[in-house]
Amino acid sequence: MDQTLKNLIEVSDLHFSYGKREVLKGINLTIPQGKIVAILGVSGCGKTTLLRHFGGQLRPARGSVKFMGEVVHELNDDELYKIRLKMGMMFQVSGLFTDMSVYDNLAFPMREHTDLPEEMIHDLVLMKLHAVGLRNARNLMPSELSGGMERRVALARTIATDPALIIYDEPFAGLDPISLNTIANLIRRLNDALGVTSVVVTYDLSESLKIVDYVYFIHDGVVVAEGDVSEMISSKDPFVRQFVHAEPDGPIAFQYPSKPYAEDLDIKTAMI
């Protein structure tokens, strides 16, 4: 990795649409090396769409994403494949191979992307599982794991090939409080121990604010607020305040944009 680069990721004026629905409307943000950055926002605000630009799964309509100094959407297939090897992704629903044991789930990316001998892969798998407290679960199948254990195995697989960037897409979804706190602490500890850069994309405010260094709030396709944790907690910004304090009234509307309810009722009455 080029140590002269201060920021691992730089997003500049990023625009993207699904058909006529504009999702990203000019996103600007940076992810510094060695830090944990949270990207927060309500469901459907474009967080996952933004992530897909990091790895080049989507191409922007305008603007760019730079990873380690390279503009992602300008890379050819071979170059894109190489930068993806430097990224680890923990999916919303673990993404474990259901017909493989825990051990083989972790060994798979090592066998696929390296020429390491099986003896070394064995030691590395046990090392990664030990880091998440599941070394003795290596022979279990995914169906035998609890929700929290499954998420920890997914985390171990994410760090299997020692990526420069780890992306966590809703890592706390569906977890009980103990498992949730365990995963959050693991994210912080592994980031510091491995010296990697982490992006946590979530709508879970309480846990993410405990472990991150910097926060971006996204709403309606743009960054509406940013800062460190203390700044966000004390922010007077209407969006941030509503999100942080879970207030029902504010700039975040409950109803999806639509015509007045009375008009819909009149149309239905006329049809009857």
Q: In which order are the strands placed within the sheet that holds 36-40?
A: 87-90, 165-169, 197-202, 36-40, 214-219, 222-227
* Residue intervals in the chain for CATH 3.40.50.300: 1-86+163-228
d(CA 151, CA 232): 28
Q: What is the mean pLDDT of the chain?
A: 86
> What's the confidence (pLDDT) of residue 246?
67
138-166 per-position pLDDT tens digit: 999 999 998 888 988 998 999 888 899 99
> Identity (one letter) of the amino acid at 167?
I
Mean pLDDT of 229-249: 76
Mean pLDDT of 39-57: 88
d(CA 49, CA 43): 11
More confident residue, 43 or 161: 161
More confident residue, 234 or 136: 136
Q: Other CB atoms closer than 10 Å to residue 42's CB: what's the count? A: 16
Question: Tokens 């309509």 sit at which residue?
Answer: 61
Integer Rg of the chain from CA: 21
| Three-class DSSP category at 132 | coil
d(CA 40, CA 190): 21
Structure confidence at residue 243 as a pLDDT band (50, 70, 90): confident
Structure confidence at residue 27 as a pLDDT band (50, 70, 90): very high
Structure confidence at residue 268 as a pLDDT band (50, 70, 90): low
User: Which residue, among 83, 56, 57, 66, has the nearest Cα to 13 in the 3D structure?
Assistant: 66
Has residue 10 got a pLDDT over 90?
yes
User: Which residue, among 1, 73, 40, 13, has the nearest Cα to 214 in the 3D structure?
Assistant: 40
Least confident of 5-9, 27-31, 71-75, 257-261: 257-261
| Three-class DSSP category at 73 | helix
d(CA 272, CA 263): 14
DSSP states of 131-154: HTT-GGGTT--GGGS-HHHHHHHH
> What's the confidence (pLDDT) of residue 1?
47
Q: Beta strands 214-219 and 197-202: pairing type?
A: unpaired
Structure confidence at residue 3 as a pLDDT band (50, 70, 90): very low
Is the domain spanning 1-86+163-228 CATH 2.70.98.10? The answer is no
CA angle 195-39-248, nearest 5°?
A: 145
Contact (Cβ atoms closer than 8 angstroms) between residue 164 and residue 199: no
Phi, then psi, of 223 in degrees rounded to 5 = -80, 120
| Three-class DSSP category at 220 | coil
Has residue 255 got a pLDDT over 60?
no
Q: 248-261 burial string, b = 16+ CB within 10 Å, else e?
A: eeeebeeeeeeeee
Has residue 31 got a pLDDT over 70?
yes
- Give 32: exposed, middle or buried? Use CB within 10 Å, 0-12, 13-18, 19+: middle
Contact (Cβ atoms closer than 8 angstroms) between residue 138 and residue 102: yes
d(CA 35, CA 199): 8
Query: Would you say the pTM of this structure is higher than 0.85?
Result: no
User: Which residue, among 215, 224, 201, 247, has the nearest Cα to 43 in the 3D structure?
Assistant: 201
> What's the confidence (pLDDT) of residue 4?
47
Mean pLDDT of 116-133: 93
